A and B are shown apart, each in its own frame.
Chain A
Amino acid sequence: MAATTAPAARKLPIAKAINESLRAAMEADPKVLVMGEDVGKLGGVFRVTDGLQKDFGEERVIDTPLAESGIVGTAIGMALRGYRPVVEIQFDGFVFPAYDQIVTQLAKMHARALGKVKVPVVIRIPYAGGIGAVEHHSESPEALFAHVAGLKCVSPSNSADAYWMLRQAIECDDPVIFFEPKRRYWEKGEVDPAAIPGPLHQAKVAKEGTALTLAAYGPMVKVCLEAAAAAEEEGNSLEVVDLRSISPIDFDTVQRSVEKTRRLVTVHEAPVFLGSGAEVAARLTERCFYHLEAPVLRVGGFHAPYPPARLEDEYLPGLDRVLDAVDRALAY
């Protein structure tokens, strides 16, 4: 895509990279709108939309009533009218009043209209835990969306991806659920607005290795990179694949990695049971059965409600839980 203005590469926190991405998208296309609770004057509770209303006006950066079904439902209507709404859901746990609109309407409208209409709505959701919040502010519901045909689901792990993947999501003619790893909002990374990004749904090898592949996305990529560094000290070379996209999943990239390393561990914060890791495990077992030296292991959340903040360090898969699975896989 041709960025209208291409400022120099800079180090930006993820939240700011998303802000810049929205800004660039709004500059490039007058049909791009931002909608949500507190996104205007306040700039969002995480300040991700800071300054956008001041620069683009209340017609394009819209403080909505407190009604998620209304937000998504009207975004669908605006998309039908030719706009490209980028909707913010304030926290993961608050998307559910809109779940009906997303599942029964947004996901299926293109198919029902025989392809004649497009609903290019982007739904940004700050998700996952690690910020010590009260309940409904720390959940990882991505599987509930990835399971629905018609939706695309992505989650960046770093600033450059946050910037480019959001721009690509906005340009995409399909609805995209954009999961933002909120505990990483303040982590900085280089963003080059003049770069040429790879495809939105392509996974990336975040670190090369030989003994085992860790497949993760969003907030857990950093944990996996740390686990890989720790394993390195013990003489084990781990490869880390950043999936970036949860629907579709780039199984080819994972397959190439696993054919080399012969072992795979999937990692996400969401509960393991029926999670995206289960899908990766099943597909990769099918594709790489004769390459695998160990069963694909999964690390993730438990089949229990997200716990109160004082237990989240125990609940969340951290370095030790990842390395425990690595040890078990290497022991085969």
Chain B
Amino acid sequence: MTVESTAAREEARRSGTGGKRAAASGEPSTSRSASPGGGKGRAAQGAGNKQGAAKKKPAAKKAPAKSGKQAKGSAAQPGGDDFVQLLTPEGERVHHPSYDVDLSDEELRGLYRDMVLTRRFDAEATSLQRQGELGLWASLLGQEAAQIGSGRALRTDDYVFPTYREHGVAWCRDVDPTLLLGMFRGVNNGGWDPNTNNFHLYTIVIGSQVLHATGYAMGVAKDGADSAVVAYFGDGASSQGDVAEAFTFASVYNAPVVFFCQNNQWAISEPTDRQTRVPIYRRADGFGFPGVRVDGNDVLACLAVTKAAVERARTGEGPMLIEAFTYRMGAHTTSDDPTRYRTDEEHASWEAKDPIARLRGYLEREGRADEAYFAAVEEESEAMGKHVREAIRTMPDPDTMAIFENVYADGHALVDEERAQFARYLSSFADAPAAGSTQGGH
């Protein structure tokens, strides 16, 4: 399975923390200006580099330096060091004092492909909902960079706890995209083995999975493994008690967990200022671990910051909160009507920051990808759309008796009794065809 406890990993973890897990409460910050990524000049790992930075000193336990003023809701915007951006909306490569990535052309093109295919899959699912093939769909449109950037920062032995919108992260974890549709089609309530790809089930009850991620991370630490765990959640979820409690546990036990909050500005109809008066990343401060706001529409920045956070976790430096500042371009779900609560202008202003367009602009300008490449990705995305459409149309409905399956691991007399009764009841319709189809009463 997932938890590796090789001697090598234990050694790496020990050397990162001096044996005891770091962050004794009340311990003063070692360096006020040090960034959570490990301070100025810390070269971030390139994508695909799977080596933990084992010998690194523990980073500061304070949130990043506040650039002068007390940030209000709108602070940490482009321009300041509090907002990590490596690629401007115009596709211009910029640098940040604490976070960077050095990617090959191939790796850059890979991120582009990931985002395009993810968006295509998502669009396909939305249209399948319109056609009645799915009961519901929660679109990730606009959040591709946050999900691909963070997802590609992980190793296979890391573990992800998603919400219901992490289709891009699932893609990075190699989860078959058509599996994501089952729950939305109504054929199952989960539908995959979380341990196959270290990608837990989608979680609908807001905030719950953040505690599970923290507990899983506590287990990883107990095992002496150097895997990291990532908890995804939204701006709305940041209000839940479960999330605050997860922060507390992660901090007190110095758990190797990364809290990845996609602040997409909305929790259904409620804007982020209904949830918080300080930027979400600054909440970390009060819990005693670093928090960073990253341009969530910048795949490079999301990759760089998540890599740094994951390395911290591996080396025993404890949790970190990443707030990916992004936007939910679509409706909350296919059941939602955003025209009731938000403006076209706001939507348009975010359209100009599109994550895919900016990376493409960069790739084109720098000559890192040619027309043939873009055409090939386009073709691949057409094929993926076709594959998804075919898969959904052939997805079997569950067997009725599946109602009674897997209720308990060790069985239960009442379930057995009800299963048998229900089977008898259903077979009583066998001699009278058609009678069985009038179930439901609505």
Q: Which residues of A contact B (CB under 8 A)?
A: 37-38, 40-43, 45, 63-67, 69-70, 93-94, 96-97, 130, 132-136, 183, 222-223, 226, 273, 302-305, 307-321, 324
Q: What is the bound-complex CA distance between A304 and B441, given in angstroms?
A: 21
Q: Which 5 A-B pairs have the closest CB atoms?
A: A309-B186, A42-B269, A65-B239, A313-B440, A66-B236
Quick one: which of B186, B204, B239, B404 contacts A310, CB cutoff 8 A?
B186
On chain A, the residues within 8 Å of B425 by CB distance are 321, 324
Query: Does B415 interact with chain A (Cβ within 8 Å)?
Result: yes
Known: A41-B341, A66-B275, A318-B440. Is A134-B136 also a contact (CB below 8 A)? yes
| Cβ-defined contact, B204 with A136, below 8 A | yes
Chain A residues whose C-beta falls within 8 Å of the C-beta of B340 in the assembled complex: 41-43
Report how far A324 CA is from B424 CA in the complex, Å. Answer: 12
Residues from chain B with Cβ under 8 Å of A315 in the complex:
403
Which of A45, A130, A303 meets B335, CB within 8 Å? A45
A307 to B400, CA, bound (A): 10
Q: Is the CB of B135 within 8 A of A134?
A: yes
Which residues of chain B have C-beta atoms less than 8 A from A316's C-beta? 439-441
Chain B residue nearest to A90 (CB atoms) is B268
Contacts A134-B183, A319-B438 aside, 7 further interface pairs with beta carbons under 8 A come to A40-B269, A97-B242, A130-B440, A136-B204, A304-B403, A307-B189, A318-B441
Find out whether the CB atom of B237 lies under 8 angstroms from the CB atom of A135: no
B269 touches A41 (CB 8 A): yes
Contact A310 B185 (CB under 8 A): yes
B397 in the interface (beta carbon within 8 A)? yes
Q: Which of A45, A97, A308 touches B268 (beta carbons < 8 Å)?
A: A45
Complex alpha-carbon distance, A41 and B336, angstroms: 13
Q: How far is the CB of A162 from chain B (nearest CB, A)?
A: 18
Are B240's CB and A97's CB within 8 A? yes
Give the Cβ gap from A228 to chain B, nearest Cβ, in Å.
12
A303 touches B183 (CB 8 A): no
Task: State whether the Cβ of B68 lies closer than 8 Å to any Cβ in chain A.
Answer: no
Q: Is B407's beta carbon under 8 Å from chain A?
A: yes
Rounded to whole angstroms, the CA-CA distance of A165 and B182 in the bound complex is 39
Q: CB of B187 within 8 A of chain A?
A: yes
Q: B398 contacts which chain A residues (CB < 8 A)?
A: 307-308, 310-311
Whether, in the assembled complex, B270 has its beta carbon less than 8 Å from a beta carbon of chain A, the answer is: yes
Interface: B40 (CB within 8 A): no
Q: Is the CB of B239 within 8 A of A303?
A: no
Give the docked Cα–Cα distance between A51 and B343 (Å): 19
A325 to B161, CA, bound (A): 44
Cβ–Cβ < 8 Å partners of A70 in chain B:
239, 241
Beta-carbon nearest neighbor of B341 in chain A = A41
Are B183 and A135 within 8 A (Cβ)? yes
**B439 & A302 in contact (Cβ 8 Å cutoff):** no
- Cα distance, A303 to B275, chains bound together (Å): 37
- Find chain A residues with CB under 8 A from B375 CB: none
B204, A134: Cβ atoms under 8 Å? yes
* Contact (Cβ within 8 A) A313 B186: no
Contact of A226 with B206 in the complex, beta carbons under 8 Å: no
Name B residues whose Cβ lies closer than 8 Å to a Cβ of A.
Answer: 135-136, 164, 182-189, 204-207, 236-237, 239-242, 267-270, 274-275, 335-336, 340-341, 397-398, 400, 402-404, 407, 412, 414-415, 418, 422, 425, 428-429, 435-436, 438-442
In the bound complex, CA of A223 to CA of B403 (Å) = 22
Assembled-state Cα–Cα distance A3/B15 (Å): 74
Q: Which of B268, B335, B407, B435 contacts A305 (CB 8 A)?
A: B407
Residue from A67, A93, A133 having most chain B Cβ neighbours under 10 A? A67
Report which of B188, B270, B438 forms a contact with A318, defined as CB distance below 8 A: B438
Closest chain A residue, CB of each to CB of B136: A134
> Known: A97-B240, A132-B135, A311-B398. Contact between A320 and B439, CB under 8 A?
yes
* 19 A-B pairs in the complex with CB atoms less than 8 angstroms apart: A37-B270, A41-B341, A45-B336, A69-B241, A97-B240, A97-B242, A135-B183, A136-B204, A183-B442, A222-B442, A223-B442, A303-B418, A311-B403, A312-B186, A313-B439, A314-B400, A316-B439, A319-B441, A320-B436
Q: Is the CB of B441 within 8 A of A311?
A: no
- Asked whether, in the complex, the Cβ of B422 is within 8 Å of the Cβ of A320, the reply is no
Task: Compute how far the CA of A38 lies from the CA of B274 in the bound complex, rounded to whole angstroms.
Answer: 10
Q: Which residue of A43, A134, A136, A314 is within 8 Å of B403 (Cβ)?
A: A314
In the assembly, what is the distance between CA of A37 and CA of B266, in Å?
12
Q: How far is the CB of B208 from chain A (nearest CB, A)?
A: 9
CA distance A212 to B404 in the complex (A): 31
Q: Are A309 and B135 in contact (CB under 8 A)?
A: yes
A305 to B275, CA, bound (A): 32
Partner among B188, B241, B397, B422 whose Cβ is within 8 Å of the Cβ of A302: B422
Known pairs A304-B404, A310-B187; A320 contacts B204 (CB<8 A) = no
**Cα of A222 to Cα of B442 in the assembled complex, Å:** 9
- CB of A315 to closest CB in B, whole Å: 6
User: B275 touching A65 by the CB < 8 A rule?
Assistant: yes
- In the complex where A45-B335, A310-B186, A316-B441 touch, is A133 in contact with B403 (Cβ < 8 A)? no
Measured between C-beta atoms, what is the minimum distance from A54 to chain B in Å? 12
Cα(A320)–Cα(B438), bound, Å:
7
Q: With A and B bound together, what is the CA distance between A42 and B338 in angstroms? A: 9
**Please, which residues of chain A bring their CB within 8 A of the CB of B241?**
67, 69-70, 97
Indicate which residue in A37, A66, A303, A321 contacts B414 across the interface (CB closer than 8 Å).
A303
Is A38 in contact with B270, judged by CB distance below 8 angstroms? yes
CB within 8 A of A311: which of B239, B402, B407, B435?
B402
**B411 vs chain A, min Cβ distance (A):** 12
Q: With a CB–CB cut-off of 8 A, which chain B residues contact A308?
A: 182-183, 186-189, 398
Q: Is the Cβ of A304 less than 8 Å from the Cβ of B415?
A: yes
Whole-angstrom distance between the Cβ of B344 and the nearest chain A Cβ? 16
Q: Is the CB of B439 within 8 A of A305?
A: no
- Of A43, A226, A313, A324, most buried by chain B (CB within 10 Å of CB) is A313
CA distance in complex: A45, B332 (Å)? 11
Q: Are A67 and B270 in contact (CB under 8 A)?
A: no
Q: Please, how many angstroms separate the alpha-carbon atoms of A305 and B267 in the complex? A: 27
**Chain B residues whose CB sits within 8 angstroms of the CB of A273 once the complex forms:** 414
A38-B269, A65-B274, A310-B397 given; A132·B440 CB < 8 A: no
Tell me, rounded to whole Å, the shortest Cβ–Cβ distance linking B289 to chain A.
Answer: 22
Q: In whole Å, how far is A127's beta carbon from the nearest beta carbon of chain B?
A: 15
Instruction: Let me know if A305 and B418 touch, CB within 8 A.
Output: no
Name the distance in Å between A265's Cβ and chain B's nearest Cβ.
15
Residue of B nearest to A224 (CB): B441
| Residue of B135, B270, B336, B418 contacting most chain A CB atoms (<10 Å) | B270
Contacts of A67 in B (CB 8 A): 239-241
Q: A63-B270, A308-B398 are in contact. Are A302 and B404 (CB under 8 A)?
A: yes
Is B239 within 8 A of A305, CB to CB? no
